[in-house]
Amino acid sequence: MYSINLRALHQTAARHMPVSADNMTNTIRIGDRVKVFLDSNFWKSEGWFEGTVVRIDPYSKHRQFYWVKLEVEVEAVQGGKSSLISVFNPKNLKII
């Protein structure tokens, strides 16, 4: 399986996406159902995709990577498909 780090995606998408009120008040946890925003600069399909948080890895004292198992497989612009992606910026996640 091919997995992709979305750090650069999040920097781009954060400028274009409003912050969800849920993300400001709720903590994202393993098992949460979420929507993930994917930007067309990095993915062949842009938009929100549903999935489940399966792992959270610490990055620093205040940041972490959220690993999300998507319901569908997505294809990166550079090639490769994946249904497991890492999300660095929680602004690109919405709890559903």
Nearest to 14 by CA among 35, 38, 49: 38
**pLDDT value at residue 26:** 65
Nearest to 49 by CA among 13, 25, 21, 24: 13
- Across 39-67, average pLDDT: 91
Considering the four listed CATH numbers 3.40.50.11540, 1.10.1840.10, 3.30.365.10, 2.30.30.750, the one that applies to the domain covering 7-95 is 2.30.30.750
- Domain ranges, ordered by start, for the chain: 7-95
Whether the per-residue pLDDT at 71 is higher than 70: the answer is yes
- Please name every residue paired with 79 in a beta bridge, in sequence order, or none if there are none: none
